[in-house]
Amino acid sequence: MSKKARIAVLVSGGGTNLQAILDAKARGEIPDGEITLVVSDRLGTYAMERAVKAGIQGLEINKKGCGGQKAFEGKLVEALEKNRTDLIVLAGFLSILTEDFTTLYARRIINVHPSLIPSFCGAGFYGLKVHEAALARGVKVTGATVHFVNEIPDGGEIIAQKAVEVLPGDTPEVLQRRVMEQAEWVILPRSVEAISKEIVSGL
């Protein structure tokens, strides 16, 4: 069997972006990667159920339960190393990771953000807040960005972007769904495959 990049997906909620990756994998669109671990920083998330259904190992590592950021990241590193992780995908993962963590996995952590960076990004911009801000600003086009993760929230090198039209009468919830369907669920699996292919070919 040809070598595949071992992928860990980090989640905090329902796991819709995790599902998009799982679906793309099932369709044969991620031939160079294999999802081997799903980690949630919150207890009882639906994303964990998605992992179980897909036959993938799921772990809950709760920051509060660990007693702080340092211990939390220590447990996370332990789990990732045990899994022999090649690529970390943040898919709706709400914990901010410190420089101590991100430097261990330089150009090996990617994140999907629901706007066209550098618009509506950085600390405090996540989930519906991003779409609320876009609508409040009156932008006509928004979208999603996949980027490498460094110590600056949404500050890493951009890998892929896809634009989505803002329509009259959009609510934050309606816009969020359109951005997921038309952008996030398209460019995230593509980026996972692109980086997996690089890893496998030794770049």
**Of 66, 109, 118, residue with least CA distance to 86:** 109
Q: Which domains does the chain have, with CATH numbers?
A: 5-200 (3.40.50.170)
Strand partners, 161: 145
Pairing of strands 109-113, 141-148: antiparallel
pTM of the predicted structure, to 2 decimals:
0.94
> Using CB atoms within 10 A of its CB, is residue 104 exposed (0-12), middle (13-18) or buried (19+)?
middle
Q: Report the number of secondary-structure helices (H) and strands (E) in the chain.
A: 8, 7
Residue 203: the pLDDT is 54
Contact 172, 132 (CB under 8 A): yes
Predicted confidence (pLDDT) per residue in 87-109, tens digit: 999 999 989 899 999 999 999 99
Would you give the DSSP letter of residue 107? T
Model confidence band, residue 1 (pLDDT cutoffs 50, 70, 90):
very low
Predicted confidence (pLDDT) per residue in 130-182, tens digit: 999 999 999 999 999 999 999 899 999 999 999 999 999 999 999 999 999 99
Predicted confidence (pLDDT) per residue in 28-70, tens digit: 999 999 999 999 999 999 999 999 999 999 999 988 888 889 9
Pairing of strands 87-90, 109-113: parallel
| Residue 118 pLDDT greater than 50, yes or no | yes
Which residues are known catalytic residues?
113
Residue 84, classed as helix, strand or coil, is: coil
